[in-house]
Structure 1
Amino acid sequence: MLSPYIKLNDNCGLCSRLRLANSDKDFLFDGGHNLYIFKSPFAEKWPGALMPIFKRHIYEQSDIRPSDLPDTLHTLVCLEKALRKVTNCKRINLVKFANISHHLHWHLIPRYHNEIYSNKCSWELENVPREKIYSKIEESLFEDTSLYEKIRSQALFEINNRSSPYFGCALFLRPCELELRSKIFTLDLDEIIKLARDNPEKWECLLMKRNYHDFAWDFIGGNCEVNEYPEFGMIREVKEEVGWNITRYKEVTRQWKMGAIKGIVYLAIPENQHYMDDEPERVHCAEVETVKYFNLVEIMNSPNFVDSVKGRIKAFIENKADFDSIDS
């Protein structure tokens, strides 16, 4: 839906199209927070071509607010996925002109396998007749009246089922001292947090080695599903990756990126007391090679850990409400 609070330009042709979208024969669907999706003029030569129009009157991509960037890019990717699935095209041209209409929009143009000028960009073929673009005209594609309905259906499926931009991960801590380790299940979360922050050299953190990203050590947890809160994403990911059920948890820090929240780190306590063992009991999965405890201070001082891990540990120890890191 186009918000009544969005400021449009009275002298802009694309702003007018946004206002009158429901009566526009080429309007296809609402792409979410930031985009309306129209049939592109390029569709006369390349069936399935789309024209997403940004809902606010801005000129360049660099004018997009940081908080709107992830949604905008993700929606464009979803449109591309839908085009590839429905049209079975060879590749897709994605272009932003706006030389005449000074309003941010894009064209997604499917390029087909039987094109003669496959090495040329679609906008280079503006004056080439359709009959000379293809070695053989696939009339079924040009005459398919349901093509855009199929694209619309697939695109909305991709948009509504895309992954969440948020993460939720678990900080599993254990004391280095065996005597205290045996008592940790009797402590409440605030006591554990205070003890670890007061003497981080006496505490260890469980990390996992993933089977990708150069086998880097990382926190247990990961990206949330669509409409999933970070805390529930953390609980689900822990269950999937190490097979543990979380009984208690508390937020200890969160990450913000350019004014938008990205994810949350939770001190977590699982129900299985074997998680304190040197080789903790876990359910093996294809994504996780192994898990291991590391000293908190060692993590901070070692070059073997990526910035995202160090940033989260540092924020926890220093009691920072949020943190930043280069590679997250």
Structure 2
Amino acid sequence: MTNCVLCKDELKAEEDQLIWRGDDCRVILVNDPDLPGFCRVIWNRHVAEMTDLSYGERDHIMTLVFAVEEAIRHVMHPDKINIAALGNMVPHIHWHVIPRFKDDAFFPGSAWSKRTQETQASTLEARRIKAQELPAVIRAANANLA
């Protein structure tokens, strides 16, 4: 699909970071100023629905999603993890793996909800620093999956 931003392998923001890329999937650290540690797991080939994948491919991407979740929990120590695959705006399989904190800007709603509060700048900065550890931890986790 020529107009799909995920098929073009483009990062959504200049500061987004490619953490890991395999033959079928890739992991991006999303530059979200309100949600440090937000990652996206993207299927490389244009596929709109999980049921379009083979059972083995489904297992593969979900194993990766869970490895990213585990890494985020280990590094960020969130109050909760949100995992979402919507695809309404970009109909290309991708999973959002988002560390959530009771004091984040959108809690208890989704990451796409209206802001409910402001997180202290010092707290956000501390989380951004912690999130810098994620690429190495996620790469190590993925090496163990091979």
Residue 152 of structure 1 pairs with residue 135 of structure 2: yes
CA deviation after TM superposition for structure 1 residue 143, in Å: 4.9
Q: Deviations over 1:124-168 (max 9, x none)?
A: 23xx27xx243x440432552x733x1011111122224xxxxxx
Q: Deviations over 1:11-45 (max 9, x none)?
A: 212111x2x56xx642322243421112335x221
Q: Which runs of 5+ in 1 are unaligned?
A: 1-8, 163-225, 227-328
Letter in 2 for 1:107: H
Q: Which runs of 5+ in 2 are unaligned?
A: none
**Structure 1 residues 91, 143: CA separation in 2 closer, same or farther (over 3 Å shift)?**
closer
Letter in 2 for 1:147: A
In the alignment, the residues of structure 2 paired with residue 140 and residue 30 of structure 1 have an alpha-carbon distance, to the nearest angstrom, of 24
Residue 55 of structure 1 pairs with residue 47 of structure 2: no
Letter in 1 for 2:20: D
Count the aligned residue pairs: 143
Give the aligned partner of residue 29 of structure 1. Answer: 19
Considering fraction of residues, name the structure with more strand: 1
TM, length-normalised to structure 1: 0.39
**Structure 1 residues 115, 75: CA separation in 2 closer, same or farther (over 3 Å shift)?**
same
In the alignment, the residues of structure 2 paired with residue 124 and residue 82 of structure 1 have an alpha-carbon distance, to the nearest angstrom, of 25
Give the aligned partner of residue 92 of structure 1. Answer: 81
How high is the sequence identity, in percent, across the aligned residues?
21
Q: Is the 8 A contact 2:26 2:42 kept in 1?
A: yes
Give the aligned partner of residue 141 of structure 1. Answer: 126
* Larger Rg belongs to: 1
In the alignment, the residues of structure 1 paired with residue 74 and residue 108 of structure 2 have an alpha-carbon distance, to the nearest angstrom, of 22
TM, length-normalised to structure 2: 0.82
Letter in 2 for 1:158: A
Q: Deviations over 1:270-307 (max 9, x none)?
A: xxxxxxxxxxxxxxxxxxxxxxxxxxxxxxxxxxxxxx
- Runs of 4+ in structure 1 deviating by more than 6 angstroms, as ranges, are none
Structure number with the bigger relative contact order (C-alpha 8 A, sep ≥ 6) is 2
Give the aligned partner of residue 70 of structure 1. Answer: 59
